């Protein structure tokens, strides 16, 4: 990465194992590095933990839909990037919302997802996603996420600010539910009684009938933005094929709207190693889709830490810190 205002996302797998990682330079979420101010957490004699058991955390659960997050609150080292594991049940929708302080990058693991995103000029795009697809929504762009079909969906969300919480977004029901009805009536040009049955608090996950096969047409007609928000990452040929692994990579050169995040799928064979390396201008956020990986972190002055990440765990590597990723061999039990 040559642009210090970029983040990266890495995703990797090995037979029955996979890891997701996103990397970002210290910027809006972590200005200390840019100002050459030592981070007390990283300046200690011992390196802090860089692992969090995301899928074992409580998160937010409504019905059979859930969102579990990893921010600096859950993983203090992760100041540059936050992440969420979200599952939607059939008929469920993450309601229309937006983020003022973070862009959103996503990777679909299971099921189908339909998204609609609206930019500040009122241009909108609706897309449908399958496993292996990604989306990117810039900061401040309103969007909704909807489960498609009769099976649940699961996707990983990456935010380019470690201090950002998915549970602190600007949701449309939260806004309308707390605005005076007289104000709403004047704003929308309808009687105040129109809002009598509207929710009084944030819905977050709206649950109802299974989404129709075809989305409803926009009320004002089709007005697409200049750049698409969708990219079919795993539908492409691997970026590189190596002894012991394969890599899919997508940055702004292939997905122009994704100006702050780069994504990588890393597919490792059992026992394979992503060799010792570092990112001079990007942090790395990791999510293990399946299997077990051993991740090392080197921080100078002999400081060295090894963590084992299992399915559903996340890891975080600060920019400039040496690290490696090793796929642990699968142990077979004799019958």
Of the candidates 7, 87, 99, 141, the residue annotated as catalytic is: 99
Query: What is the pLDDT, as a whole number, of residue 329?
Result: 72
Residue 143 among the catalytic residues: yes
Structure tokens at 16: 């029955």
pLDDT at 39: 86
Phi, then psi, of 245 in degrees rounded to 5:
-175, 170
Q: What pLDDT score was predicted for residue 155?
A: 98
Helix (H) or strand (E) holding 40: helix 40-43
Of 302, 32, 264, 73, give the one whose Cα is nearest residue 167: 73
Q: From the candidates 7, 94, 292, 323, give the one annotated as an active-site residue.
A: 94
Partners of 232 in the β-ladder = 133
Of 69, 104, 202, 284, the catalytic one is: 104
Phi, psi of 223 (to 5 degrees): -145, 85
How do beta strands 263-268 and 8-14 pair? parallel
Q: What is the full per-residue pLDDT of the chain (335 aa) written as tens digits?
A: 333 334 444 444 333 333 444 544 444 455 555 666 778 899 999 999 999 999 999 999 999 999 999 999 999 999 999 999 999 999 999 999 999 999 999 999 999 999 999 999 999 999 999 999 999 999 999 999 999 999 999 999 999 999 999 988 999 999 999 999 999 999 999 999 999 999 999 999 999 999 999 998 888 889 999 999 999 999 999 999 999 999 999 999 999 999 999 999 899 999 999 999 999 888 999 999 988 999 999 999 999 999 999 999 999 999 999 999 999 975 544 43
Distance between CA atoms of 137 and 324, rounded to whole angstroms? Answer: 30
Is residue 28 a contact partner of residue 267, using CB atoms and an 8 Å limit? no
The answer to whether 166 is a known catalytic residue is yes
The predicted structure's pLDDT at residue 12 = 41
Q: Which pLDDT belongs to residue 14?
A: 34
Catalytic residue among 166, 247, 284, 326: 166
For residue 29, the model assigns a pLDDT of 52
CB atoms within 10 A of CB 188: 11
221: helix, strand or coil: coil
Greatest Cα pair distance in the chain: 72
pLDDT at 32: 58
Based on the residue annotation, tell me whether 99 is a catalytic residue of this protein: yes
Catalytic, 94? Answer yes
Burial group, residue 6, by CB count within 10 angstroms (0-12, 13-18, 19+): buried
Of the candidates 97, 114, 246, 279, the residue annotated as catalytic is 97
pLDDT, position 293: 94
Determine how many CB atoms are found less than 10 A away from the CB of residue 287. 29
Q: Where are the alpha helices (DSSP H) in 123-230?
A: 172-178, 181-188
The answer to whether 266 and 309 have CB atoms below 8 angstroms apart is: no
Residues present in the chain in total:
335
């Amino acid at each position: 990465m040559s642009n210090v205002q970029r983040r990266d996302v890495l995703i990797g797998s090995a037979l029955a194992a996979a890891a997701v990682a996103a990397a970002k330079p210290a910027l809006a979420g972590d200005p200390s590095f840019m100002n050459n101010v030592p981070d007390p957490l990283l300046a200690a004699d011992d390196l802090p933990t860089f692992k969090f058991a995301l899928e074992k955390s409580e998160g937010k659960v409504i019905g059979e839909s859930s969102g579990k997050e990893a921010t600096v609150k859950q993983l203090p080292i992760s100041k540059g990037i936050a992440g969420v594991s979200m599952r939607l049940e059939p008929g469920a929708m993450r309601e229309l919302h937006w983020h003022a302080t973070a862009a959103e990058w996503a990777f679909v693991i299971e099921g189908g997802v339909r998204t609609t995103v609206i930019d500040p000029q009122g241009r909108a795009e609706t897309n449908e996603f399958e496993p292996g697809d990604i989306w990117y929504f810039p900061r401040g762009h309103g969007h909704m996420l909807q489960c498609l079909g009769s099976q649940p969906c699961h996707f990983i969300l990456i935010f380019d600010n470690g201090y950002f919480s998915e549970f602190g977004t600007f949701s449309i029901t939260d806004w309308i539910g707390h605005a005076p009805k007289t104000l709403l009536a004047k704003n929308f040009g309808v009687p105040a009684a129109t809002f009598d049955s509207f929710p009084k608090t944030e819905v977050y996950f709206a649950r109802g009938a299974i989404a129709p096969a075809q989305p409803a047409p926009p009320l004002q007609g089709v007005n697409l933005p200049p750049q698409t928000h969708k990219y079919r990452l795993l539908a492409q040929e691997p970026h590189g094929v190596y002894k012991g692994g394969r890599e899919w990579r997508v940055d702004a050169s292939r997905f122009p709207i994704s100006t702050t995040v780069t994504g990588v799928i890393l597919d490792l064979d059992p026992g394979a190693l992503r060799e010792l390396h570092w990112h001079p201008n990007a942090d790395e956020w990791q999510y293990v889709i399946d299997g077990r990986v051993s991740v090392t972190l080197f921080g100078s002055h002999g400081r060295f830490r090894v963590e084992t990440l299992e399915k559903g765990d996340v890891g975080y590597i600060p920019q400039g810190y040496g690290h490696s990723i090793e796929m642990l061999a699968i142990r077979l039990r004799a019958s």
